[in-house]
Structure 1
């Protein structure tokens, strides 16, 4: 099992592995070689080169939104897909306008697309049995954006699990601009900053 989180050597940063732990990923030579070969594929090479251009250009100077826009420009993308949560519709509208103002064609799909009744999906939920409640449809979001032939897709506020299904089914490359955290104003890392104080007892089971 790999334990990079607790490594004190971090030899990978400089390519020095003499003192690397026995379970250091570098010892998985077959996997490392296979991954390296993937970067030689033309489409992957272009993609990773774009990420490096963005890193050199925007490190510490561009917001996540600006980085996303700049990356799309570097890659030459024209048609962008936005899959958003209904709870962030206002933010999605603002973001789509920003993308359009930067010259992109944008197709946006809300999470409630398709109007699927939760009763059709959920098992053994007697409390919900007799009332209509529309389910989120991340697979539908992915399929609709696939149909639109978007070149790059952006998830905005999808719930945990829903985002997983969206990324699983969407065909074009995708990134997350906002992740859902209703308690911390969609800033989940805030809980990590408080993991040794306010959130300590809540995290310790």
Structure 2
């Protein structure tokens, strides 16, 4: 591909033949143009005994056995059991503290140990990391920063086997995942406008959220 050619990927595909083998692959398909060495390296991750294989097998087993039957809460319970997790870490947004406590109780009822760290742990003002007062939600008031790095360090110290993110902010979740040592999954993805159901914006791009298909400066 020369520098003037557009790089095409699954975002431009209209056949999804890799899923059901009922159509044809597009010329640019990642499957038919795959680097064989890269493909083999990926397959080796699942074939070698270790956490990668354990995670992949557990996820596929749950999908096969319970497809369309379990809520995500239940799938996390099933997943945790299949990978042998005993202690579950919860990295929660303070705005979802009540829901996280309910989830913690569900975990405990099902025999898991739980350690939870809220995003405001450490309780230091946002200005201490360089944010200006006018950048706060409520300027000229104490406004504690979210500290996903400290959340991760607390869960690392607690030696959790599996971490669950409960609505951390966009970007803060990235930092948590970067610094957390244990395998991490999501229960809640934050969307303050859509009741933590971000895909609703995609479902309604033909109507209410058509504006998303036009450029906008944020």
- Deviation by residue 1:130-172 (Cα, 9 ceiling, x = unmatched): 5421100001111110111100000001110011111111011
Tell me if structure 1 keeps the 8 A contact 2:133–2:140.
no
| 1:84 and 2:96 aligned | no
Partner secondary structure for residue 158 of structure 1: coil
Aligned length: 204
Tell me the C-alpha RMSD between the 2 structures: 1.9
Matching residue within 12, 19, 29 for 1:24: 29
Shift of 1:117: 1.5
Partner secondary structure for residue 47 of structure 2: coil
Q: In the alignment, what sits opposite 1:100?
A: 108
| 1:7 and 2:13 aligned | yes
Structure-to-structure mapping, 1:1-205, within 5 angstroms: 1-14=7-20, 19-26=24-31, 27-29=33-35, 30-43=37-50, 44-126=52-134, 131-205=141-215
- Deviation by residue 1:101-140 (Cα, 9 ceiling, x = unmatched): 0000000000001112211113454565854211000011
* Alpha-carbon spacing, 1:202–1:11, altered in 2? closer, same or farther (3 Å): closer
Structure 2: where are the runs of 5+ without partners?
Answer: 1-6
* Alpha-carbon spacing, 1:181–1:149, altered in 2? closer, same or farther (3 Å): same
Tell me if structure 1 keeps the 8 A contact 2:9–2:30.
no
Q: Which runs of 4+ in 1 moved over 6 A?
A: none
Structure 1: where are the runs of 5+ without partners?
Answer: none
Counterparts of 2:141 and 2:132, CA distance in 1: 14
Counterparts of 1:6 and 1:100, CA distance in 2: 44
